[in-house]
Amino acid sequence: MTDIANHPTPNTDRLAAERDKYVASGVIGRPFFVERAEGARIWDVDGREFLDFVGGIGVANNGHTNPDVVAAVKAQLDSYLHQCFSLHSYEPYLDVCRLLCECHPGDFEKKAFLANSGAEAVENAIKIARYFTKRDGIVCLDNAFHGRTLMTMTLTAKVRPYKLGMGPFAPEVYRATGPYPFRGISSDDAIDGLHRLFKNQVDPSNVAAIIYEPVQGEGGFLPMPDDYPSRLAEIAAEHGILIIADEVQSGMGRTGTPAAVDHYGVTPDIMTWAKSMGGGLPISGVTGRADIMDCVHKGGIGGTYGGNPLSCAAAKVAITEVLDPNFQDSAKALGARMRSRLDGLAERVDAIGEVRGLGPMLGVELVDADGRPDAATTAATVEAAFNKGLIIMGAGVDSNVIRVLVPLVATEADIEEGMNILEQCLSDVTG
């Protein structure tokens, strides 16, 4: 691995100055410019090599520059680039809808719709749920992250940086208690909170959908407790409320299965997908019960670019790979290896309050001596790791969770090297 800290960075410095001059400063990001990427490795414009445990925030489950994805995109390039599916249909769109429907658990007919980003998928899921139920209310959870558009920003829980100064927010959104066992909020507490919300804020007969992430991502890599999704589904069914599982970050093999809800044995009415489904190209999707997905009048959902042919070509390969049991087995094995390394680390490093996650979607919550969220140590660890060539990232409403979204094609050597760096950095930073 390159000696990052002492490596000269003339190209980075030049591009960082350009970035400062031309890119709106509200977009975060360190001065780090990618030249090429492969598998779980990134090389920057100054020839520095990095091990990537973030994968473009969960987009590289199939590995950076996956050769099969690249070949499929190259083949599509020579045929046509854009049509607008609402105008001229094309087969790659159908392929992706079929594959996405296969990812949606449940013994019922499903249909799909394609869009461009995770937020756009969530927006459309809400539109469809409201249309179907003829109700306005949407219930979301504490610690949720669903995107940055008006509706999805409203659903998102973290005020800084996602909402500050950006209101007024979308109406008819209600936030229920989210389970967070490490912070003393159990499944029972969360279900009680939902019942209280139905008494204090909105009658369940006015609620169209409850949306939740089976593993909350930005909110701190919080897997829902085992019993929570099925209890939620029961309550929803009782009141004619739809369940939307947002699998934008937790889906597509991230937890070792096509969907994180596969771990819970529940079958959501509607699901949202994005990130790794495109193998690196922008695409997202909504899947759901066929009767729900078909409720909207012609033209009520759509968009210029949704399900772009290049993205569909890439997605067809990426999703097919995720549906392959061998891919899932190796993702689960990778998750188990990382989990045991992190659990071992937790025994040696006092600052680790909890290691949690599902399969290879893992987070490490850092706390101070009094057990309070330790954002400073988290930021310092992320920085120290970068200087040793490991890219990791924070998460959590309190910004005190290190999240691991390593490409699932990472080798055993990649994992060992990354874990060694993480251990060293945590020891250095926490003294």
Ligand X SMILES: Cc1ncc(COP(=O)(O)O)c(C=O)c1O
Comparison of 204 and 251: residue with beta carbon closer to ligand X: 251
Closest approach, Cβ 301 to ligand X, in A, equals 17
Do the Cβ atoms of 244 and 256 come closer than 8 Å? Answer: no
Comparison of 57 and 94: residue with beta carbon closer to ligand X: 57
Q: What are the residues binding ligand X (CB under 6 A)? A: 57, 117-119, 122, 145-147, 213, 217-218, 246, 248-249, 274
Closest approach, Cβ 127 to ligand X, in A, equals 15
Alpha-carbon span 29 to 53, nearest angstrom:
16
Comparison of 244 and 415: residue with beta carbon closer to ligand X: 244
Closest to 263 in 3D by CA, of 360, 132, 123: 360
Closest approach, Cβ 145 to ligand X, in A, equals 5
Closest approach, Cβ 274 to ligand X, in A, equals 5
The CB-nearest residue to ligand X is: 118
Q: Locate tokens 């080798």: which residue?
A: 411
Comparison of 232 and 421: residue with beta carbon closer to ligand X: 232
Q: Locate tokens 């699998």: which residue?
A: 247
User: Of all helices (H) and strands (E), which one includes residue 114?
Assistant: strand 110-115
Comparison of 217 and 373: residue with beta carbon closer to ligand X: 217
Comparison of 191 and 271: residue with beta carbon closer to ligand X: 271
Closest approach, Cβ 80 to ligand X, in A, equals 25
| Strand partners of residue 36 | 43
Closest approach, Cβ 370 to ligand X, in A, equals 30
- Contacts by 74-83 with C-beta closer than 8 Å and gap 24+? 75/313, 76/309, 76/310, 76/312, 76/313, 77/310, 79/309, 80/309, 81/308, 81/309, 81/310, 82/305, 82/308, 82/309, 83/309
Alpha-carbon span 267 to 247, nearest angstrom:
13
Comparison of 126 and 426: residue with beta carbon closer to ligand X: 126
Do the Cβ atoms of 58 and 249 come closer than 8 Å? Answer: yes
State how far Cα 420 lies from the chain centre.
25
Closest approach, Cβ 146 to ligand X, in A, equals 5
Comparison of 213 and 414: residue with beta carbon closer to ligand X: 213
Exposure string for 169-198, b = 16+ CB within 10 A, e = fewer: ebebbbbbbbbbeebebebeebbebbeebb
Q: 3-class DSSP state for residue 112? A: strand
Closest approach, Cβ 213 to ligand X, in A, equals 5
| Strand partners of residue 185 | 180
